[in-house]
A and B are shown apart, each in its own frame.
Chain A
Amino acid sequence: MNFSAIRVIYIAEMMRAWNTLFQTLASPVISTSLYFVVFGGAIGSRIQSIEGVEYALFIVPGLTMLTLLTQSISNASFGIYFPKFTGTIYEVLSAPISFFEALIGYVGAAATKSFIIGVVILLTASLFVDLRIEHPFWMLLFLVLTCVTFSLFGFIIGLWADSFEKLQIVPILVITPLVFLGGSFYSISMLPPIWQTITYFNPVVYLVSGFRWSFFEVADVNVWISLGMILFFLFACLAVVSWMFKTGYKLKE
């Protein structure tokens, strides 16, 4: 193992975020605060509590997931796409380093950044509401698994993309709608039956539900099913990445 290579890639990626620390943290903090003002404050005051949880509190886990997913994907995809775009990837390709070592460096850094953003969002949220966490261990587990899985997913997108449009298209056209329709701001049980059935095909439902359960013990699906789903998605991403590794897909001419 070339640990030294993993270390320098990880540090370089973290430094990149550090140099743009303000943007990295400001945008999730500001958007979360806006959601709280609009959904929690303005609208939430007219909505009764959902399953015994005050509305402003109820949306915290979904809101966190929304940001975590988009940030993990955009961080990780940009992290690998940019060197490809500028050509600096030549150095990584010519170095005595395996695909998996590069992967650990890039994805590890992206996941760490998302994790920090997740914590910052929860801290921001606690300024607005009286946050309580019933199962801190489960909460951490979901947080970490989500960061890793979606950073991995972002890495795959970054490798696949050969234009800035493609880089943006998945977060905007796929992830944001899935999160909004995935029960981030409401309980699935509030939907008409037919829509409930359709919603269960949305993988984000399981993420949000499991994460919310770790806070309030309120869930749309059983927490173990949620865990199973995220692990399934993690392994699916790993399978795609190993296939890319074996075939050298889009890495080299």
Chain B
Amino acid sequence: MDSVISVNALSKTYDNGFSALKNVNLEIHRGEILALLGPNGAGKTTLISTITGIVSSTSGTVLVDGYDNVTQYREARSRVGLVPQELTIGAFESVYATVAFSRGLFGSKPNPAYIEKILKSLSLWDKKDDQLRMLSGGMKRRVLIAKALSHEPTILFLDEPTAGVDVELRKDMWRLVEELRADGVTIILTTHYIEEAEEIADRVAVINGGEILLVEDKAELMQKLGKKELRVELKSPAASIPEGLKEFDVALAEDGNQLVYTYQTNQESTGITAVLQAINAAGLSLKDIQTSQSSLEDIFVDLVREQA
């Protein structure tokens, strides 16, 4: 697979001695959407800041499209757009001026038509002459996105783009992300709404305590670490788990009205037949049967808890 960003043995120790990144290795594929997941303080922002040049690394290297992000920073940085986590934005300049400023800062020639296009796609066009301080938080977020896109980057970092954002903007944003991906832009995003990542990402990286725990194709990850649940509703409640079922991973739920059997999806035999036979043998009669699959969120919570 063609890597557009390679992070090699990257470490970052802040001035106060805190080690926020520990020997991180990560390959980001060209054109993919990578979701970077991790609890608060995991090091997501630090990783993004180190790649984009806002924070200098303690050791290790980062290649952006083959260019070292320190020694060949001009080539490396001109390809990258960044939407920061905090709403760091000016106060008195206009929306249009600040977006045009970003474009110029990245060395691109002025292109009013392109800026108009981005502002329109982010529903900011009617606000283009407003001062930044007069905008609401969600509007500021849109402006930050417009600024990041102003120089037509081929790699886009979105650090919690949906924090504090209403449903409407969230939809707009994911539509935009899809469009950008269709144009071949590589997108790296962090979010605490795991269901969003589950919906949109091609691959998932989980980081905790400054270490990458795993990087996996989303579908494979769900296959590999996902658990399935079989819920059996009983006609009359059982007081305890019947003898014949004790060898299986079965629990009672809903005051004994349900038996819950948990099994791995990637195993050869799921054991469902045996469980159902054992239920039958115990003389319990069934009312209904349901199966469900664990979400990315469940997987994520398990992973992070395991490490702690």
CA distance in complex: A8, B96 (Å): 13
| B114 sits at the interface (CB 8 A) | no
CA distance in complex: A96, B103 (Å): 11
CA distance in complex: A87, B106 (Å): 18
CA distance in complex: A94, B54 (Å): 6
Q: Which residue of A lies closest to B87 (CB)?
A: A87
Q: Which residue of A lies closest to B110 (CB)?
A: A4
Is A5 a contact partner of B104 (Cβ separation < 8 A)? yes
Proximity string of chain B (76-116) to chain A, C-beta cutoff 8 Å, 1 when within and 0 when not: 11101010101011101100010011101111110000000
Q: Which residue of B lies closest to A248 (CB)?
A: B56
Tell me the B46-88 residues at the A interface (CB within 8 Å).
49, 52-56, 73-78, 80, 82, 84, 86, 88
Enumerate chain A residues within 8 angstroms of B53, measured Cβ to Cβ: 93-94
**Min distance, Cβ A143 to any Cβ of chain B, angstroms:** 29
**Min distance, Cβ B91 to any Cβ of chain A, angstroms:** 8
Is B82 a contact partner of A94 (Cβ separation < 8 A)? yes
Is B97 a contact partner of A96 (Cβ separation < 8 A)? no
Of the candidates B52, B80, B88, B108, the one whose C-beta lies within 8 Å of that of A88 is: B88
Q: Which residue of A lies closest to B91 (CB)?
A: A86
**Min distance, Cβ B48 to any Cβ of chain A, angstroms:** 10
| B248 sits at the interface (CB 8 A) | no
Is B74 a contact partner of A16 (Cβ separation < 8 A)? no
Tell me the A196-253 residues at the B interface (CB within 8 Å).
248, 252-253
Enumerate chain A residues within 8 angstroms of B80, measured Cβ to Cβ: 94
Is A90 a contact partner of B84 (Cβ separation < 8 A)? yes
Tell me the A81-115 residues at the B interface (CB within 8 Å).
86-88, 90-97
**Interface size class of chain B, counting residues whose CB lies under 8 Å from the partner chain:** 20 to 34
| B193 sits at the interface (CB 8 A) | no
Is A96 a contact partner of B106 (Cβ separation < 8 A)? yes
Enumerate chain B residues within 8 angstroms of A2, measured Cβ to Cβ: 74, 107
Is A96 a contact partner of B88 (Cβ separation < 8 A)? no
Is B56 a contact partner of A90 (Cβ separation < 8 A)? no
**Min distance, Cβ B125 to any Cβ of chain A, angstroms:** 21
**Interface size class of chain A, counting residues whose CB lies under 8 Å from the partner chain:** 20 to 34
Is A253 a contact partner of B15 (Cβ separation < 8 A)? yes
| A163 sits at the interface (CB 8 A) | no
**Min distance, Cβ B107 to any Cβ of chain A, angstroms:** 5
CA distance in complex: A65, B89 (Å): 35
| B142 sits at the interface (CB 8 A) | no
CA distance in complex: A93, B101 (Å): 14
CA distance in complex: A95, B52 (Å): 9
| A48 sits at the interface (CB 8 A) | no
Q: List the 3 closest pairs (A to B, CB-CB), nearest first.
A: A8-B104, A87-B88, A96-B77
Footprint of A on B, CB under 8 Å?
14-15, 49, 52-56, 73-78, 80, 82, 84, 86, 88-90, 92-93, 97, 100-102, 104-109, 147
* A-B contact sample (10 more), CB < 8 A, given A12-B93, A15-B93, A248-B56: A4-B105, A5-B104, A87-B84, A87-B88, A90-B88, A94-B82, A95-B107, A96-B77, A96-B78, A252-B54
